[in-house]
Chains A and B, each alone.
Chain A
Amino acid sequence: MAEPIERTERESPAPEDESTLVARAKRGDLSAYDELVKRYQERIYATIYHMTSNHEDANDLAQESFVKAFHALKSFKGGSTFYTWLYRIAVNKTINFLKQRKNRQSMSLNDLDFNTEHDPDLVALISEKTPRREAGLTELQEKLNEALLKLSEPHRLVVVLHDVQGQSHEEIAKVMHCNIGTVRSRLFYARQQLQAHLADYLQK
């Protein structure tokens, strides 16, 4: 008879529904909010990091976004998913920060992981067709981040969310409070700008 109980104890608890966690967090349950932070921390951090190209700034802004979201939870009515709502807070905070930082941009780039050299996209890129094929990955990383920082914040955000993080046009439109047509046109313009800045590093 004890067997079923033993099995239940060994099983990991089923992941709690997001709305349940949000409801608990609204009541001040920090363990529920801790779970929500763990779910979205990587995506929120990555978006901010790709927008700022600075790990320390991204760390501060990501933490502040989660703290602000917790204090603003009572105003969250559930009109969108918690994730979209949280994303908006993080994006607005980051854009405000970048406007302040405009004249003192400094990069503090994260290291590349061990799989970088085996990425099929990058293997295809660094080929005989690439004019600057002698350029190392670190140099490419630096040039790419410099080119991204030359874009305006809305254009950079669209590129980061779509081409780096793989979000759909619809999701981006929700986060940026604009229509899908605007997202598409911004994406096209931003890619053109990046292409011009990185012409030496792209295949022809």
Chain B
Amino acid sequence: MNETENFESLRQLLALKRHEIPPPGYFDRFSGNVIARIRSGETASGKSWFVRIFEALEVKPAFAGAFASAVCLLMLFGIVYAGSDNSAPQSLFQPGAENSQLSPQLASASPQQTATPEIHKVFASDPTNFEASLQPVASAFGGNPIFEQVSFSAGQ
């Protein structure tokens, strides 16, 4: 028994592969299918980009790790950015240059003018004074420049 004889036997067995044929008529349709795919611009066997991304992640763990890190960084950036964004509206309620853009009159007024009397004093003097009770409540942070004081009394 030598190697040549063995390989000859193997070669005979491999001849079996040449007899494996696709279903009848398969090659009659093949070129038509290829041309149809070219016409439709399809290049990835109908798989969506979403499926292709997940297939890529499945094959390359390093890519999956990088993708996960990128998503985490994006989320972290989003959280930090959202946190810094919340501080911006607070500056609107602080007296100063920013407030003058909203209302020059209010900006020029002193905190005493803009602040209304404390609510407990109003109710202490006359609990039935609804006109007074309709007035805006003073802000605990020293006046609210957005609200202007309006009186709804019938005499005016």
Contact = CB atoms under 8 A, between A and B. Distances in A.
Contacts of B59: 99-100
Contact of A202 (B13, B15, B55): B13
B9 interface: yes
B148 interface: no
User: DSSP majority for the A interface?
Assistant: helix
Interface string B35-59: 1011100111100000000010011
Given A37-B30, A41-B30, A195-B6, A116 B19 contact: yes
A115 B26 CA distance: 19
B15 A33 contact: no
Contacts of A7: none
B9 A164 contact: no
Contacts, number: 120
Given A33-B35, A45-B22, A122 B30 contact: no
A80 B27 CA distance: 26
A23 interface: no
Contact of B16 (A34, A60, A144): A144
A112 B31 CA distance: 23
Interface string A35-57: 00110011001000110000100
B28 to A, nearest CB: 10
Interface residues of A, number: 51
Interface residues of B, number: 37
B45 to A, nearest CB: 5
Nearest to A103: B58
Given A99-B59, A116-B19, A119-B15, A70 B10 contact: no
B38 A144 contact: no
Contact of A116 (B7, B10, B16, B39): B16
B14 interface: yes
A191 to B, nearest CB: 5
Given A42-B27, A125-B13, A112 B20 contact: yes
B10 A67 contact: no
Contacts of A178: none
B11 interface: yes
Contacts of B13: 122, 125, 140, 144, 198, 201-202
Interface string A141-164: 100100000000000000110011
B59 to A, nearest CB: 5
B1 A204 contact: yes
Given A116-B16, A141-B20, 5 more contacts: A37-B30, A41-B30, A45-B30, A116-B19, A119-B15
